Amino acid sequence: MDQRRADTSINPVSLYGEFTVTGNRKARCAVSLTEKDLIVQRLLLAPVGRNKVVLSLKDCVGCRAYREGDNADPAAYLAVYFYPLKRRWMSSGMSRQRAEQCFRLASLQDPCANLEEAEKWARALSSGLSTWLPLSNDNELQRASMSVLSRPSRMMLLMNPQSGKGQALTLYNNHIQRMLNEAGVTHTLVITERQNHARELVKEADLSQWDALVIMSGDGLLFEVINGLLERPDWEEAIRTPLGILPSGSGNALAASIHHYSG
């Protein structure tokens, strides 16, 4: 987790609130949202230097405001989902690891008012996140087209369950499904049953239903999807569909190259 000091004179605070941390109602914290960070400061006595955490919005995939079923409790909740780079256990490599921050908002007796406050934070966070889309600087067109989506994005996730060591479905169940839900991405999972299944599906699909096609496999399935798009009568338009790859093959050469060249 990013433990940098937040310079709030450079990044003015857009929202401030004092909440309790879910799971420990005695632990109150001051939460500030700036253009770049979410700053969480424990209000109870804590060792100096350890009571403040600065979470970069670059590492945040999404957030959610909600109430729990218990009507006697007027509290609302704000859950914020981060995936900061952390050192791997027993290794020098880094990987993104999930860190959820959940706050309990209960300053008012009215449950609707607490929920409105949580939703106000969720909206502010979401608009902060859209400025951190992981796109290259010269891709302003792509940034603009993504930020105008005023609804959750919809994607078709094509998965080859046999790819790599045959663990794509396990990876999806243990990580991907939850990340997509946290990011507010609605998706339809299509598990391919045989060679050329994805190619045929993409060739016939109504592409207006999808904002992106994402391949969870190795290079072979991506190759099939691109061929399926190019075999359509409307191929010139179809090939502009945003494509994604979640590497779960054995070589994953394309995903590795993209990561390498994009830094």
90: left (phi over 0), alpha (psi -120 to 50) or beta: left
**203 touching ligand ATP, by CB under 6 A:** no
Spatial separation of the C-alpha atoms in residues 221 and 162, rounded to whole Å: 11
Closest separation between CB of residue 209 and ligand ATP, Å? 22
Instruction: Give yes or no for residue 117 binding ligand ATP (CB under 6 A).
Output: no
Residue of 163, 205, 210, 225 that binds ligand ATP (CB under 6 A) = 163
Helix (H, G, I), strand (E, B) or coil at 48: coil
Query: DSSP label at 250?
Result: S
32 touches ligand ATP (CB under 6 A) = no
Q: Does 219 qualify as catalytic in the annotation?
A: yes
**Near ligand ATP by CB under 6 A: residue from 181, 220, 232, 241:** 220
Decide: is 246 part of the binding site for ligand ATP (CB under 6 A). Answer: no
Q: Which is nearer to ligand ATP, 99 or 190 (CB)?
A: 190
- Classify residue 61 as left (phi > 0), alpha (psi -120 to 50) or beta: alpha
Dist. CA 225–CA 214, nearest whole Å:
9
Q: Does residue 164 touch ligand ATP according to CB under 6 A?
A: yes
Binding status of residue 244 toward ligand ATP by CB under 6 A: no
Taking phi first (over 0 means left), then psi (-120 to 50 degrees means alpha), and beta for anything else, what does residue 167 get? alpha
**Among 7, 70, 219, 234, the one annotated catalytic:** 219
Q: Which of 31, 160, 202, 211 binds ligand ATP (CB under 6 A)?
A: 160
* Closest to 172 measured CA to CA, from 230, 217, 203: 217
Binding site for ligand ATP (CB under 6 A): 160-164, 192-195, 197, 217-221, 224, 249-252
